[in-house]
Amino acid sequence: MSAADCPFSVIRPVPVDDDKNYDSFVKFEVPIDPNAADGLKSTIQLRKLNSDNPEDVLLFFRNYNKLVEDLETPEGEPRFRLFNLVLGPDAQADWATVLQEIDDCHNQDDFVEACELFLISKVERNCAINTKEWLNQVKKTRSMTVRKFMLRIKQINNLFPVMPLPEEGANEDDRIDGFTEAELRNILKKASPQTWGETQEKSIIRFDSITAQVLK
């Protein structure tokens, strides 16, 4: 376990699959009024999982959870079907392998177990711990503005809820939480060069006001 094993970087690599490739996305239409199925609808688009990159996988899980919420997908079997639908071909094969390891009941407990098994096949079990260590040491690159750097740190911090549980047999209460807003501000202070602090003093710029705007 170490910061060196963290799967993230200050500047996120561009996803491999082509944004213009229709097969990379799945679209869903959701009634704006749940009581009027034939009324106006909004379109939800989700990028299929076509990557083994840990950050892409975690972002996929975060977006999938939001999709389940937006679609009000019932627990159990419907979520199994939806999950398979939003996977790319290689990920579907990996998911099929995972399903061989769980019960055939396909209830919600089975789904949660299957998702965790799928997740740790692509993301290290120690991801959350390593990421916390890395964020505590990370430095802002000269090419990034403070705003972009803080947005990147916040983006990574938002992925803690979908990172693997810290050990086998752990439950949700054992999940490692992300940083608070106060802790994120402290990370930015440590990550920024001393000259930046001197500059903001000369410009009468309040550090907390800048980070507060980014953290909203």
**Whether residue 40 is found in the same domain as residue 113:** yes
**Whether residue 33 is found in the same domain as residue 112:** yes
pLDDT > 90: percent of the chain: 55
pTM equals: 0.84
- Residue 148 in any domain: the answer is yes
DSSP letters, 127-160, are: HHHHHHHHHHH----TTS-HHHHHHHHHHHHTTG
- Residue 206 in any domain: the answer is yes
Boundary-marking domain end, from 68, 102, 120: 120
In angstroms, rounded to a whole number, what is the distance separating the alpha carbons of residues 153 and 135? 8
- Residue 95 in any domain: the answer is yes
Q: Look up the domain containing 86 and give its range.
A: 17-50+53-120
- Residue 2 in any domain: the answer is no
**Whether residue 62 is found in the same domain as residue 155:** no
**Whether residue 144 is found in the same domain as residue 84:** no
- Residue 3 in any domain: the answer is no
**Whether residue 156 is found in the same domain as residue 110:** no
Highest mean pLDDT among 19-33, 56-70, 138-152: 56-70
DSSP letters, the chain, are: --GGG----SSPPPPSS-TT-GGGEEEEEEESSTT-TTS-EEEEEEE-B----HHHHHHHHHHHHHHHHHHTPPSSHHHHHHHHHTB-HHHHHHHHHHHTTS-SS--HHHHHHHHHHHHHTTS-TTHHHHHHHHHHH----TTS-HHHHHHHHHHHHTTGGGSPPSSTT--GGGPPP---HHHHHHHHHHHS-HHHHHHHHHTT--HHHHHHHHH-
- Residue 6 in any domain: the answer is no
Boundary-marking domain end, from 66, 93, 120: 120
- Residue 4 in any domain: the answer is no
**Whether residue 112 is found in the same domain as residue 23:** yes
| Structural domain total, the chain | 2
**Whether residue 31 is found in the same domain as residue 74:** yes
Boundary-marking domain end, from 61, 88, 120: 120
In angstroms, rounded to a whole number, what is the distance separating the alpha carbons of residues 39 and 51? 36
- Residue 8 in any domain: the answer is no
Cβ(119)–Cβ(164) below 8 Å:
yes
pLDDT tens readout for residues 86-143: 999 999 999 999 999 998 888 999 999 999 999 999 999 999 999 999 999 999 888 8
pLDDT tens readout for residues 51-80: 999 999 999 999 999 999 989 999 999 999
What pLDDT, on the 0 to 100 scale, is given for residue 47? 92
